[in-house]
Structure 1
């Protein structure tokens, strides 16, 4: 049975998790894109 790499690993210093594979980086990029889109859409809705 082969052991797969986890998508995220604990940070060496500080609190939280860091991406460990391309899948982890993809999830991180998608989360950032969703947050940016939500901020842009919300700011645009407030100005109209």
Structure 2
């Protein structure tokens, strides 16, 4: 029983742009939710990338 290799859904460059874009949007969302409103962030958000 061999494994079947599939062709990747996205090209490498597209995957990198989507991944980094997601990190940037997530960091911006956290900034909007907490820093901009002057509310303290939950402790666990300090371990998220971009936070």
TM-score of the superposed pair, with normalisation by structure 1? 0.52
Question: Which residues of structure 2 form unaligned runs of 5+?
Answer: 1-6, 40-51
- Which structure is richer in relative contact order (CA contacts within 8 A, separation 6 or more)? 2
How many residues matched?
33
Mark the structure with the bigger radius of gyration.
2
Question: Which residues of structure 1 form unaligned runs of 5+?
Answer: 8-19
Structure with bigger strand share is 1
Q: Over aligned residues, Cα RMSD in angstroms?
A: 2.4
